[in-house]
Amino acid sequence: MTAAPSTLADALIATGPDPDLAGKLALYGQFVGAWTMAAVMHTDDGQRHEAKGGIHFGWVLGGRAVQDVWALPGFFHGTTLRIYDPGEDAWHIRWNDPLKQYYTHQIGRAEGNDIVQHGRLDDGTAIRWRFTEITRDSFHWIGDRSRDGGGSWQLQADFRAKRIKA
């Protein structure tokens, strides 16, 4: 008989990907570790705000999902749960920011060398979040939105991340 996990961390955190899905899970699994980020946020009124923050990615739920925590002091502090769906060959992405009360659901897939996530806000606004320029030790993350069904996109966030720990 196996002992039940004694803490939430014991029940949540996994040491690596589920071996049966390791190849597919590598899409987001490549980010597991700790990162710093230099962020530029763009507001609706045209203001630009720069800040520095951190990101931590890890394996969770028996190695069947990747969870991350993004913290940008003064702007947001939230977590994403990324779960691979073999039937759709896509990822269900759920962002939760209790600080700003901002929640999204997106579908993520590889598009060439990038990872692109598409979703809609409650008011119908389309959102697109992208990981680009991905290397082992860096990535560029771009968040934008469209109020005309994808005809044009407005940049909201532009982050440059550097790995500090694998």
pLDDT value at position 2?
Answer: 65
What the chain holds in terms of domains, given with CATH numbers, is: 8-165 (2.40.128.20)
Whether 5 has a pLDDT exceeding 90, the answer reads no
What does the pLDDT look like over 26-74, one tens digit per residue?
999 999 999 999 999 999 898 999 999 999 999 999 999 999 999 999 9
C-alpha neighbours within 13 Å on the C-beta side of residue 34: 4
- Does the predicted TM-score (pTM) go above 0.85? yes
Cα separation, 17 vs 28, whole angstroms = 11
Query: What letter does residue 19 receive in the DSSP assignment?
Result: G
Higher pLDDT, 44 or 85: 85
